Amino acid sequence: MFKLTTVKILRIMCLVGVIIFSLPVWAEEYEYIDISNPFLRKIPTAIPLFKNASANMKGRDLAVELADSVSKTLEFTGYFEIMDRDAFLADPHDPKITTAEINFRNWTVIGSELLVTGAVSAEEEYMELELRLFDAFQAKLIVGKRYRGRISNQRQIIHRFCAEVMYHLTGNRGVFNSQIAFASARNGVKEIFISAFDGYNPRQFTTNNDISLFPAWSSDAQWMAYTSYVGGKPDLYIRNIKENSGTVVSRKGIAITPAWVPDKFELAATLSFSGDQEIYLLTGRGKIIKRLTQSRGIDVEPTWSPDGKKMAFVSKRSGTPQIYIKNTVSNRVRRLTYEGRYNTQPNWSPKGDKIAFSTMQMGRIDIFTIGVDGKDLRRLTEDQGDNEAPCWSPDGSLIAFSSNREGIPKIYVMTAFGTDQRRLLSLPGAQTSPKWSPNIINK
């Protein structure tokens, strides 16, 4: 379940076609992104309309569609400021796409630092797409690719290119191959849904006709664990997504808030069969390995550090719900949050350094981040309804959360610093508990 099979690799190649440009990136290290606050200054990026290389109607429509699609996808990351095409000096009817042709002054003069050009030729259901990313100031190509595939698969092609862009700028492939699971109250009953990272194509994952909550992705994105009342009480379901089979943990009491251990077929969850709500470590088949918390009172909502050695969780052991961190190697537990009287819903950043969580004060719930060392507490939402259930993107750059600022709770996304808060999608009813999957190409 952790491998890419040969069949999968062949499929991807058929879809995407041959890569022709393989120029290396820079000899010198040039930092495009300021790590300390990458979203403070977005990189002005110009994406003019693509060239219609096949000179037919389909090609002309695609030239616009694809340029817009690349713009939206890069904009989603929060790193790029996509420039208005009205400001462009270059002739839109005669796009220059290669290093040799481009007059980089046209771009630097209007303030753009990055430039993306494209050329598309379409024939029947297939297209060939060339995409290039340039550093406008250095007048150099950063990365270029040619893709061949079905027009209907254009999203995948765009995502592959954007992943290349992210990789060359940040060393990280970004979030374009990830998905977001969430609970949506369809006809008043919460079921679990899954959409693409940008909210595209939401589809229903559970059809229990009963309350289903707390979706959790395994590291290889093959398994989903969740709580459902379909059996008459809150039981834990561990389901293989493709094969649609798995295990149920159904004991006396509740079984909630599953959290997979990174890179292992194990998960933590809160069970109360002993008469007290404690966190246990289970195998992916639902067998209890050991108990992880030892304290009277509520212990819920585990979340793992990326190295799988530490677990943050919520406990009422000191009288109010607060967040604690347990080192599962030394077994020591320390308290993380000291401000406020109701801190819950912790989520450990895949970068390992921060934990996002929600605080309830004065009847309002807002999202904060705090360093794993307990320092650098930052507020991310304010004066915009209740904001709950933060969940980091797989590269640690974005946070998905649930907000009722427009009335009923919906899923929103913001950067790790709280900027660019926007709604991800809207289905009828309330959407809650978003969980971002790993960034894996799963077919």
| Cβ-based neighbour number of residue 70 at 10 Å | 24
Instruction: Tell me whether residue 106 or residue 270 sits nearer to other proteins (CB atom).
Output: 270
d(CA 164, CA 408): 37
Residues facing 322 on adjacent strands: 315
Interactions with other proteins, residue window 340-359 (CB under 8 A):
342, 344-345, 358
CB of 366 to other proteins, least distance (A): 12
CB of 185 to other proteins, least distance (A): 10
Q: Does 407 bind other proteins (CB under 8 A)?
A: no
Interactions with other proteins, residue window 57-86 (CB under 8 A):
none
Residue from 71, 112, 277, 437 touching other proteins (CB under 8 A): that is 277
CB of 239 to other proteins, least distance (A): 19
Determine the 3-state secondary structure of 334 from DSSP.
strand
Residue from 254, 268, 281, 311 touching other proteins (CB under 8 A): that is 254
Instruction: Tell me whether residue 73 or residue 432 sits nearer to other proteins (CB atom).
Output: 432
**CB of 271 within 8 A of CB of 234?**
no
Q: Does 191 bind other proteins (CB under 8 A)?
A: no
d(CA 311, CA 304): 5
Instruction: Tell me whether residue 358 or residue 369 sits nearer to other proteins (CB atom).
Output: 358
d(CA 18, CA 24): 17
Q: Determine the interface stretch with other proteins among 126-134, 168-176, 228-236, 287-295 (rule: CB under 8 A).
A: 228-236
**CB of 362 within 8 A of CB of 385?**
no
Count interface residues toward other proteins (CB under 8 A). Answer: 33
Residue from 135, 266, 366, 388 touching other proteins (CB under 8 A): that is 388
Q: Determine the interface stretch with other proteins among 106-114, 132-140, 239-247, 295-303 (rule: CB under 8 A).
A: 295-303
Q: Determine the interface stretch with other proteins among 140-148, 170-178, 249-257, 303-311 (rule: CB under 8 A).
A: 249-257
CB of 328 to other proteins, least distance (A): 20
Contacts made by residues 243-250, CB under 8 angstroms, sequence distance 24+: 247/284, 247/285, 247/286, 248/286, 249/282, 249/286
323 Cα distance to chain centroid:
23
Round the CA-based radius of gyration of the chain to a whole number and report it. 23
Q: Does 193 bind other proteins (CB under 8 A)?
A: no
| Cβ-based neighbour number of residue 24 at 10 Å | 7
Looking at residue 22, its amino acid is S
Instruction: Tell me whether residue 208 or residue 442 sits nearer to other proteins (CB atom).
Output: 208
d(CA 225, CA 234): 13
Q: Does 256 bind other proteins (CB under 8 A)?
A: yes
Instruction: Tell me whether residue 140 or residue 316 sits nearer to other proteins (CB atom).
Output: 316
Instruction: Tell me whether residue 135 or residue 191 sits nearer to other proteins (CB atom).
Output: 191
∠ CA(89), CA(93), CA(96), 5° rounding?
70
Instruction: Tell me whether residue 107 or residue 237 sits nearer to other proteins (CB atom).
Output: 237
Contact residues for 297 (Cβ-Cβ < 8 A; gap 6+): 276, 277, 315, 316, 317
d(CA 74, CA 164): 11
**CB of 229 within 8 A of CB of 190?**
no
d(CA 211, CA 256): 12
CB of 131 to other proteins, least distance (A): 42
Pairing of strands 51-52, 114-123: parallel
Q: Does 184 bind other proteins (CB under 8 A)?
A: no
Q: Does 321 bind other proteins (CB under 8 A)?
A: yes
CB of 416 to other proteins, least distance (A): 21
**CB of 114 within 8 A of CB of 133?**
yes
Instruction: Tell me whether residue 49 or residue 183 sits nearer to other proteins (CB atom).
Output: 183
| Cβ-based neighbour number of residue 273 at 10 Å | 16
Residues that bind other proteins (CB under 8 A): 190, 211, 213-214, 229, 232-234, 253-254, 256-257, 270, 272, 275, 277, 298, 300-301, 314, 320-321, 342, 344-345, 358, 360, 363, 365, 388-389, 432-433
